[in-house]
Amino acid sequence: MSTPGNEWPLWEIFVRPKAGLDHKHCGSLHAPDAKMAVQLAREVYTRRQEGTSVWVVKSSDITASDPGDKGMLFDPMEDKVYRHPTFYELPDSVNHM
Amino acid sequence: MNAVAASIRLHVTLPVQYVLRIADTCLIHAQRLAEWCGHGPVLEEDIALTNMALDLLGQARALLSHVGRLEGQGLDEDRLAFLRDERQYFNLTLVEQPMRRSSAHAPGGDFADTVLRNLLLATWLKGLWTRLGASADAELAAIAGKAVKEARYHQQHAGDWVVRLGDGTAESAARLHAALERAWPYTREMFSRDAVDIAAEASGLGPARDALRDAWLTEVAVVLAEARLAVPAETAFLSTGTVGRHSEHMGFILAEMQSLQRQYPGGRW
C-alpha cells in the first residue's frame, strides 16, 4: 500500500449535465496529472450518461473559507430580508417570475 | 441438476470466420480485462479497466449475434460465446495471454502488460473499425460506427499510461520494456493474410489484416517514442489463434468463462 506521502494528488471534479448550463461539483478522485484526471473523471462520474463536459481542478488549488469563520461571514445576512426582491409589486403579466 | 450442455459445432465459412476473429478477440480481451475487477492498482483505474472490458463485451455481443445470422443455425450470442470448443474460437493469440499475472495462482506479471496490450489492441481495433465503417455488410458497418468511438478512447487512455510508465521511473520503464518484449511477438498475427482476409477484401466485407499494418505501426511508434521505447524488430514467430490453434492458456480461460453455461444450460439470472 502506498503511504499518504506518495499518493497521487487529489482532484475536484465538475461535470456539466446533459441539459445543464453550468458545471457542478460532483466529487473528487486521485490521478497522477490533469490529463489523466479528466479521463478517470469520465470513467468514475459519467459512466451513466451524466455529463457532456468535465472540469478538473487540483484540490490543493482551491482556497476555501474557514469553517471557523462561518458565523462571522454568513450569519449577519440572516435578518437582512430587504436584500431579497420580495417587496416589489409585480404586474400580472410577469407574475410567474 | 441439469445435464451439462453439449458443445455446438459451427459451419465455419470464410465470412463467418472473418467476423468471429473480431468477435472473439473482443470477447477474450474483455474476459482478461475483467480479471482486474476489484484488483486495479487504484480504485479509479479499476473502474476504467472494467468499463473498457464492458465496452469490448458489448462489441463482442453485437458481433456474435451477427455471426448467428451469418452462420445459419440460428445460434444466439450466449450459445456462441459459451458453447464452442476451443478450436472454433478465432481470436488473436495475444488476447488470451495471461494479463494480471500477479494473482495467487500465477505470480509474476504486472500492470505494464495490461496497458501495453491495451495500446496495441485498441490501435488495431480502431483501424479495423474505421475500415469496417465502409463494409458492404450494413450490420457490420453499423456495429463498427459505434465501436470506433470506444476504441479511440481506449487507445488514448492506454497510450497515456504507456507514456507515463515508459517515461516514469527506472522501475516503471524497465517493466514496460519487459512487457513490450513479451507482447511484441504476438503482433505479427494481427497483420498476417490468409484466405479469410482475401475473401473479405474481395467481397467488400472488410479489410485484409495486412492492410492495417502501416497505419497501426505509425500510431504505435509515436506513443512508444514518447515513452522512450524503441519499436522492436519483427519476429519470425507467428501465432495461430485466428485459425483456431491456441496457446496453452486458452483452455483455462474457456473453462472459467464457460463453466456456468455448461452446468446450467440456458441459465438466466
Residue B16 is placed in which grid cell? Answer: 463467418
- Select from A7, A40, A45 the residue whose CB has the most chain B CBs within 10 Å, as the one to mutate to test that interface: A40
- The answer to whether the CB atoms of B160 and A43 lie below 8 A apart is no
What pLDDT does residue A89 have? Answer: 80
Global pTM? 0.89
Mean pLDDT of A17-42: 94
CB contact under 8 A, A39 and B51: no
Residues facing residue B85 across a β-bridge: none
Domain of residue B172 covers 14-263
Ordered strands of the A10-16 beta sheet: A24-30, A10-16, A53-58
Nearest CA in chain A to B50: A43
CB contact under 8 Å between A40 and B45, yes or no, is yes
Angle, CA B88 vertex, CA B86 and CA B93 arms, to 5°: 65
| Phi/psi of residue B48, nearest 5 degrees | -60, -45
What band does B80 get if pLDDT is binned at 50, 70 and 90? very high
Amino acid, res. B174: A
Residue B2 domain flag? no
Is position B163 within any domain? yes
Determine, yes or no, domain membership for B46.
Answer: yes
Predicted local confidence at residue B31, as pLDDT: 95
What was the pLDDT predicted at B8? 94
Minimal CA separation from A31 to chain B, in Å: 8
CA distance A21 to chain B (A): 25
Count the Cβ atoms, other than its own, within 10 Å of residue A64.
6
Which range is least confidently modeled, A33-37, A71-75, A81-85, B237-241? Answer: A81-85
How close, in Å, is residue B110 to chain A by CA atoms? 15
Average pLDDT over every residue of B178-194:
96
3-state secondary structure B18-33: HHHHHHHHHHHHHHHH
What is the CB-side half-sphere exposure of residue B56 using CA atoms within 13 A? 27
Contact residues, chain A, for B47 at CB < 8 Å? 40, 43-44, 47
Q: Chain A: nearest CA to B114, how far in angstroms?
A: 17
- How many Cα atoms sit within 13 Å of B24 on the Cβ side? 30
pLDDT of residue A3: 47
Query: Does the beta-carbon distance from A47 to B51 stay under 8 Å?
Result: yes
Contact B44 A47 (CB under 8 A): no
Instruction: Give the mean model confidence (pLDDT) for residues B205-215.
Output: 98
* Per-residue pLDDT tens digits for A56-66: 999 999 999 99
**B180 domain residue, yes or no:** yes
Is A31 within 8 Å of B44 when comparing Cβ atoms?
Answer: yes
In this structure, is residue B4 part of a structural domain?
no
The Cα B96–Cα A85 span in angstroms is 67
- CB-based contact A36 B160, cutoff 8 Å: yes
Residue B102 has pLDDT above 60, yes or no: no
Binding-site residues on chain B for chain A (CB distance < 8 A): 42-45, 47-48, 51, 156-157, 160, 164
Mean pLDDT of the region B59-86:
96
> Per the domain annotation, does B243 fall within a domain?
yes
How many structural domains does chain B have?
1
Query: Per-residue confidence at B220, pLDDT binned at 50, 70, 90?
Result: very high
For A90-94, the CB contacts below 8 A with 24+ separation are none
Rounded to a whole number of angstroms, the distance between the first and last alpha carbons of chain B is 17
Mutate to test the interface with A, among B44, B46, B160, B226 (most CBs of A within 10 A): B44
Q: How far is A43 from chain B (nearest CA, A)?
A: 5
pLDDT tens for each residue of B157-183: 999 999 999 999 999 999 999 999 999
* pLDDT surpasses 80 at B79: yes
Instruction: Tell the residue number behind the cell numbers 463453466, with chain if given.
Output: B259
Task: From chain A, pick out residues whose CB is under 8 angstroms from the CB of B43.
Answer: 29-30
What is the arithmetic mean of pLDDT over B97-114?
69
- CATH assignment of the domain containing B210: 1.20.1260.10
**B8 occurs within a structural domain:** no
- B164/A36 Cβ within 8 A: yes
Of B98, B97, B94, the closest CA to residue B125 belongs to B94
Rounded mean pLDDT of B225-239? 96
pLDDT at position A24 is 95
B44·A32 Cβ contact <8 A: no
Q: Determine the pLDDT at residue A96.
A: 67
Domain for residue B153, yes or no? yes
pLDDT tens for B125-161 read 999 999 999 999 999 999 999 999 999 999 999 999 9
